[in-house]
Amino acid sequence: MFGGNVAEVSARSFGTASSAAVRPSRASANSNIALVKYWGKRHDAPAHLNLPAVGSLSVTLDGLSTTTEVHPADADAFLLNGAAVDAKHSSAVKVFRHLDLIWRTAHQSQQRPPCRVESTNHFPTAAGLASSASGFAALTVAAASAFGADASTDRLSRIAREGSGSAMRSLWGGFVRLHKGTATDGSDCRAEQIFPASHWDIRVIVVHCAVGSKTVGSREGMERSRITSPYFAQWVDTSEADLSGAAEAIAERNIDKLGEIVEHSSCKMHACMLASRPPLLYWNDTTVRVMHELWRLRREANLRGFATSDAGPHVKVVCEASSADALAEALRKVPGVHGTQILSIGPDPTCALLS
Ligand code: PMV
């Protein structure tokens, strides 16, 4: 399966059960952006399963990726973008815990051998964009290869979820839908590719509205909204309609229909965040200026771009390929914008066995 020295393979052809040695492996996975958002976790299931309260629908992004290598080592080590991370730091602890989980999938109760994990984010410098989706997807695929885990892409996606909910969607390229499921053991919470990237040539323009990272992490923010926001129940109740509407719009390649749902889902999530106690306000003044300019461009120049944003101030604009250049140029001029980046829809993860 991984013939030769370095065999580039798709993650879905991945997996043979093997001996308990660690085989040096490298995987790359792309980040994704939710067109229909996930915010909030289920509280009727064990917390470690990290089960979402709502489904979500995303596109995988070309050009925002993480490459991760897993090697045998004398002691556990984690290097991020070339720099060693203290083994006690929370990010390293999460990485090693994730390795344990994947090792148990491959070898049940045997003790996991120590590993060196080298992870590199290929993201625009200081963009403040979330890398947890590509990071946990790449780590899951690389470790599963390194440990010889005999796991399907579906299984890998469920494992990635325990690191980060959005990582579950980065196991596929193209358009991906995550079904939240209802079983308390998480067995029916799964993601799937609903269309490959070739289905529809759309773009996502990342409009950088700040430098630096977000203030309240998504895990903490989600819990705050679930516990305190009076809108959380409505957010959950109305999500399935957005999901089926968006899937339909993508099937029809209808940008206006999709765009309306994209903006609604994002604004509804931010309204739910804002109604939390204390309030969660991830937008800054530039975010709001960009949205007003985008809406003006739609009204006055018929440029069909639609805004979505996550737990941070950046705006991501969903549009057809033909309007991307004009939209990016106009939005770059909004005061406070640090730059724009036009991204295509990205492919499946890749994995290589190194020897
Ligand atoms: O999976 P996390 O913990 O990175 O949370 C992602 C939450 C949002 O980015 C706000 C929405 C989403 O669906 O990606």
Give the model confidence (pLDDT) of 141-198 as tens digits: 999 999 999 899 999 999 999 999 999 999 999 999 999 999 999 999 999 999 999 9
> Measured from the CB, is residue 298 less than 6 Å from ligand 1?
no
For residue 208, pLDDT over 90 is answered with yes
Residue 92 tokens read as 């390293």
> Measured from the CB, is residue 232 less than 6 Å from ligand 1?
no
| Tens-place pLDDT, residues 231-275 | 999 999 999 999 999 999 999 999 999 999 999 999 999 999 999
| Tens-place pLDDT, residues 33-65 | 999 999 999 999 999 999 999 999 999 999 999
Site to substitute for ligand 1 among 310, 314, 315, most atoms within 8 A of C-beta = 310
For residue 281, pLDDT over 70 is answered with yes
The dihedrals phi and psi of 176, each to the nearest 5 degrees, come to -125, 130
Position 212 confidence tier, pLDDT thresholds 50, 70, 90: confident
Does 110 or 354 have the greater pLDDT score? 354
**How much is the pLDDT for 131?**
81
Residue 310 CA, ligand 1 centroid: distance in Å: 7
From the list 257, 316, 192, 239, the residue with the least C-alpha distance to 37 is 239
Does 215 or 330 have the greater pLDDT score? 330
Position 334 confidence tier, pLDDT thresholds 50, 70, 90: very high
Residue 221 CA, ligand 1 centroid: distance in Å: 10
For residue 213, pLDDT over 60 is answered with yes
Round to whole Å and give the CA distance between 100 and 25. 16
For residue 199, pLDDT over 90 is answered with yes
Please state, for a pLDDT cut of 70, what percent of the chain lies above it: 92
For residue 14, pLDDT over 70 is answered with no
**By three-state DSSP, how is residue 225 classified?**
helix
For residue 214, pLDDT over 90 is answered with no
Residue 218 CA, ligand 1 centroid: distance in Å: 7
Mean pLDDT of 209-226: 88
**How much is the pLDDT for 8?**
42
For residue 5, pLDDT over 60 is answered with no
By the 8 A CB rule, do 189 and 165 touch? Answer: no
Residue 86 CA, ligand 1 centroid: distance in Å: 26
> Measured from the CB, is residue 131 less than 6 Å from ligand 1?
no
> Measured from the CB, is residue 37 less than 6 Å from ligand 1?
yes
What global pTM score does this model have?
Answer: 0.93
Give the atom of ligand 1 at the shortest distance from the alpha carbon of 269.
10
Q: Any bridge partners for residue 57, and if so which?
A: 36, 177
> Measured from the CB, is residue 165 less than 6 Å from ligand 1?
yes
Give the atom of ligand 1 at the shortest distance from the alpha carbon of 164.
1
> Measured from the CB, is residue 68 less than 6 Å from ligand 1?
no
> Measured from the CB, is residue 66 less than 6 Å from ligand 1?
no
Round to whole Å and give the CA distance between 279 and 221. 10
Position 129 confidence tier, pLDDT thresholds 50, 70, 90: confident
**How much is the pLDDT for 355?**
78
Mean pLDDT of 317-339: 97
